[in-house]
Amino acid sequence: MGGKKTDVKDARWIQKLHSIGLLTGSFLPDETTEKLRTYCRQRQNMLDLAAEASHKMQKYLKILNFRLDVVVNDICGLTGMAIITDICKGNLDPERLSEHRHGNCRKSKEEIAKALKGNNREDYLFGLKQELESYEFYQKKIGECDKQIGAFLKQQINTDPEKKRLKTSVKTHKRINKNAIKGIDLNQASFQYFGGIDLMSIEGMSHATILSIISEIGPNGFHEFETVKHFTSWLRLAPNNKISGGKLLSSKTPKGSNRLKIALRNAANAIGNLKDTHLSNFFKRICYRKGRTVAVSATARKLAVILWNMVVKKIPYKPPIEYLFLDEKRKMKLVERVKKQITKFDLTKEDFGFVTN
């Protein structure tokens, strides 16, 4: 278009291209997924605000010389919150504050008391109290979001009798952190919501990742992409083959991001810390050759391929290498140790009293 470039001229040009069918359509989720996405994004906003308030609480504790961060792993845990609440109520005695130590805390009461000898400045105590009230307020809002999300998911599942009858296995090995959604079993809910597809069976897949998949794309959204390559390209996880004159100029992953891509990259990063799994072995091979950043992107793309095949083609996740969890590994080691002892001392069934009549 000739003349000076303006937003109005750009809009007219885009409208003209769209009217003659030269613009490809963008992905838009269905109404159910849009509603759930609104609830989940609002919950994430509250989590971010609560994290900001906790950081400010830690700042005020440091300038008050209350080194609570040295003696507890998380100042917003059971021990930390009990101590901070008591400080805001006016109790500044280190010995009495150390009485709030929870049984799971590694530090002793004496060590906690030594770290809580503060300067007791009134202005800093006022700021700490304000941030504690903000943190508790955001936690209350997160709880309300959890109830709304749980009720919405149950409503969608209960409307379909076939989904309601589905049952999945309990994933006791999956850790549930303090920011996980409460009031609903997301493992069971996701299995029913996706019609019998066990997304939680993938190693590295956490409750937060499952919630992002449910809310950002939903079970129907996967079918909007014709192939898995279209899906990974939409996520900006596929290589960008920039070719000119038959020569490959660049294969760098194109810029762009969305919440689902971030969730898959976080899951891929967690997979990199696992041991003896199919995906973690893949991660470490890429990491050895090209670095961790490339390995995270490659593993995130592999996760996207697995998810698309599970939802669209109904292919269950079966890794080539069987992944054994910690309790199973201990059991196998114990069995191997017993076998070695039996072989070493040449023991028979009669020695163990296993003789049958």
What residue segments make up the domains of the chain, in order of their start?
A: 31-156, 175-312, 331-357
Among 22-31, 109-118, 120-129, 215-224, whose mean pLDDT is lowest?
22-31
Q: How far is CA 205 from the centre of its chain?
A: 7
Go through the chain and tell me how many residues it has: 357
pTM beyond cutoff 0.85? no
Judged by DSSP in three states, 10 sits in helix
8 A C-beta contact, residue 259 and residue 213: no
pLDDT digits (tens, 9 = 90+) for 283-326: 999 999 999 999 999 999 999 999 999 999 999 988 876 655 56
Q: What is the reported pLDDT for 178?
A: 84
Q: What is the reported pLDDT for 43?
A: 95
C-alpha to C-alpha distance for 132 and 126, rounded to whole angstroms: 10
Q: Is the pLDDT of residue 276 over 90?
A: no
DSSP string, 83-142: HHHHHHTT---HHHHGGG--TT-SS-HHHHHHHT-----HHHHHHHHHHHHHHHHHHHHH
Better pLDDT: 174 or 144: 144
C-alpha to C-alpha distance for 40 and 46, rounded to whole angstroms: 10
The dihedral built from the CA positions of residue 71, 74, 78 and 81, taken in this order, carries a sign that is positive
Pick the CATH number of 31-156 from 1.10.8, 1.10.3470, 1.10.287, 1.10.10: 1.10.287
Q: What is the reported pLDDT for 255?
A: 82
pLDDT digits (tens, 9 = 90+) for 41-92: 999 999 999 999 999 999 999 999 999 989 998 899 899 999 999 999 988 9
DSSP string, 225-274: SSSHHHHHHHTT-S---EEETTEEEE-PPPS---HHHHHHHHHHHHHTT-
